[in-house]
Structure 1
């Protein structure tokens, strides 16, 4: 196993539950701390609180798709898409030689 991944600090994959108001209703979202950190940064980049960012995202998805069947999964995918877009912008900074995971 690649040491980079195996040595990940447990605090990064521990879960945290936060409350969010979505279209007037309060709900709880449970995500790993790593995802909360990414969402916090995304929200801050748009001058929004994380709760407001999630609320706006939720409303936009409902408007476009009609529903959000799994909010936690949506948020994880949003984080993955964000990381992929970031990696595409700076490929040399995230490139890792295959030998690093042997």
Structure 2
């Protein structure tokens, strides 16, 4: 079983830092390449570059008062990527990358996520 995971291309889990502007301030975000690849896919679906996507996510978290510990923002990005992939597997986000994320009914996706992932945990 583990061979499926242990034979992954080491480039996927190599870390890379990228400089991104958040609220006009340049900052560095360090993630494994597999997460940068996933962020690229998410952003491309809505015509956004990775810096634009990351900045938008940061601003929406900040606006909602959910940003909290800024040191945890990198973890938030990892969770974002993982949720994106889980939601695709669950059929709640189309795997067709030509479908924009912004075109989806967020309420429906979130309700599907709650019923699918959290009702089984109870």
**Which TM-score band (shorter chain)?**
0.7 to 0.9
Q: TM-score, normalised by structure 1?
A: 0.83
Name 2:26's counterpart in structure 1.
26
Task: Note if contact 1:58-1:68 (Cα within 8 Å) is conserved in structure 2.
Answer: no
Task: Note if contact 2:67-2:73 (Cα within 8 Å) is conserved in structure 1.
Answer: no
The correspondence of residues 1-102 of structure 1 with structure 2, limited to 5 A, is 1-69=1-69, 70-89=72-91
Q: Gaps (5+ residues) in structure 2? A: 93-122
SS of residue matched to 1:89: coil
Relative to its length, the structure with more helix (as a share) is: 1
Q: TM-score, normalised by structure 2?
A: 0.70
Number of residue equivalences:
90
Q: Which runs of 4+ in 1 moved over 3 A?
A: none
Task: Note if contact 1:13-1:34 (Cα within 8 Å) is conserved in structure 2.
Answer: yes
- For CA contacts below 8 A with separation 6 or more, give which structure has more relative contact order: 1
Q: Gaps (5+ residues) in structure 1? A: 91-102
SS of residue matched to 1:48: coil
Per-residue CA distance 1:4-38 (angstroms, 9 max, x = gap) = 10111110000000011001101000000000000
